[in-house]
Amino acid sequence: VQLQASGGGLVQTGGSLRLSCTASGFTLDNFSTGWFRQAPGKEHEGVACISNGGSSTWYADSVKGRFAISGDNAKNTVYLQMNSLEPEDTAVYYCTAQKKCTSTQMVITATTRGYWGQGTQVTVSS
């Protein structure tokens, strides 16, 4: 049972990246999927989530209108399309499978999760 975040890289301000969160050993769509990030010297923060079945989504205010989360059940993968990237988006990005896609759940996960896995580095140069 594993979640693998990938797709990070180095881009210039205003550029785009698409992150992937691929599950193995379980069906990701049976859960809500959340994307989180941790910038250097900062705590983890919720970025976006999508409910199982894709009926609802949530975005942090800082990424609304720039990021889009979506799922591909055939590939057992959830994507985070990141556009108009800013240096403030520089962080290691992680994905999680969780019970709900709500702002409250995102805060709970961000503040209580003990193990985050490897994550994928996103660096936005100015």
Nearest residue to 78 (alpha-carbon basis) of 27, 15, 114: 27
Encode pLDDT of 85-107 as tens digits.
999 999 999 999 999 999 999 99
DSSP string, the chain: -EEEEE--EEEETT--EEEEEEEESS-GGGSEEEEEEE-TTS-EEEEEEE-GGG--EEE-TTTTTTEEEEEEGGGTEEEEEE-S--GGG-EEEEEEEES--SHHHHHHHHHH-----S-EEEEEE-
The pLDDT assigned to 36 comes to 98
pLDDT tens figures, 55-75: 999 999 999 999 999 999 999
The percent of residues in the chain predicted with pLDDT above 70, rounded, is: 100
